[in-house]
Amino acid sequence: MAQTKKTKVRRAILEAADRVFYERGYSQASISDIAKLAKVSPANIYVYFRSKLDVLFAVYDPWLTTQLDELEHSLGWIDDPAKRLRKILSALWRDIPSANNGFANNMMQALSTTTAREGYKPTLRLATEKRLTAMLEECLPNLGHKRVRDLADILFMAFDGYIVNFHLIERATCSTSSLKWFVDILLSYDRRTEDTGGRHNRRVGRDRGSKAIPNLRASSPDR
């Protein structure tokens, strides 16, 4: 019975926090606001959460996870690499920054005012970048894991910027033309990497005086 009550109280706090952050933003929200809406005392919130930042992460983590789940599901229906990349960038630079009245800006407000003493850990960011890396590798198979991981880091920083833009500049998001342009650059670089790698391998073979590799498929018996 006690555990059931704790679960209900925690859920009430998170539901209240979600509404307060949505309506007022992280900077203007307070623990007292959340407590009043949840019908608990401010001190009771600290039984479940260490700080307002901790409350935000408890709300934002499942929210962002749901956004990424939906993105991954939609990618499962797209085979063309260019269309997959556009879908990923559209989600990062348009859809998620604008979702739920720009809810993601709460995290930008929080991170710009927090300190290490408040217990910030980059767990969510790293997990998100890992998922983004896996999505990008499906579209850019020739870049190699390290470069794709670096790319995911850069795209995620741009994601933060578009979140702020949506909040400050008349709900601005990345334009369709900019998305297409960036996708073209990435695909062009991916193909160039493959071509350069192929020429490099052939040159190394000649420099070493190696013999041409036989066509194994032609010389092997059918299976």
**Tally of helices (H runs) and strands (E runs) in the chain:** 11, 0
Q: Write the burial class of residue 21 (CB in 10 Å: 0-12 exposed, 13-18 middle, 19+ buried).
A: buried
Asked if the domains at 1-49 and 52-204 fall in one CATH topology, the answer is: no
pLDDT in tens, 89-127: 999 999 999 999 899 999 999 988 887 676 678 889 999
Tokens of 132: 């983004």
Interval 31-52 mean pLDDT: 95
What pLDDT is attached to residue 3? 66
pLDDT in tens, 192-207: 876 665 444 444 444 4
Q: Determine the Cα–Cα distance for residues 48 and 118; give it in Å rounded to an integer.
A: 15
Q: Are 66 and 76 in contact (CB under 8 A)?
A: no
pLDDT in tens, 143-160: 999 999 999 999 999 999
pLDDT band of 27, cuts 50, 70, 90? very high
pLDDT in tens, 178-188: 999 999 999 99
Tokens of 86: 């556009």
pLDDT band of 170, cuts 50, 70, 90? confident
Q: Determine the Cα–Cα distance for residues 189 and 119; give it in Å rounded to an integer.
A: 40
Helix 31-38 to helix 52-75 angle, to the nearest 10 degrees?
Answer: 80
CATH number for the domain formed by residue range(s) 1-49: 1.10.10.60
What topology does CATH give the domain 52-204?
Answer: Tetracycline Repressor; domain 2 (1.10.357)
Q: Are 88 and 76 in contact (CB under 8 A)?
A: no
Q: Domain-by-domain residue ranges, the chain?
A: 1-49, 52-204
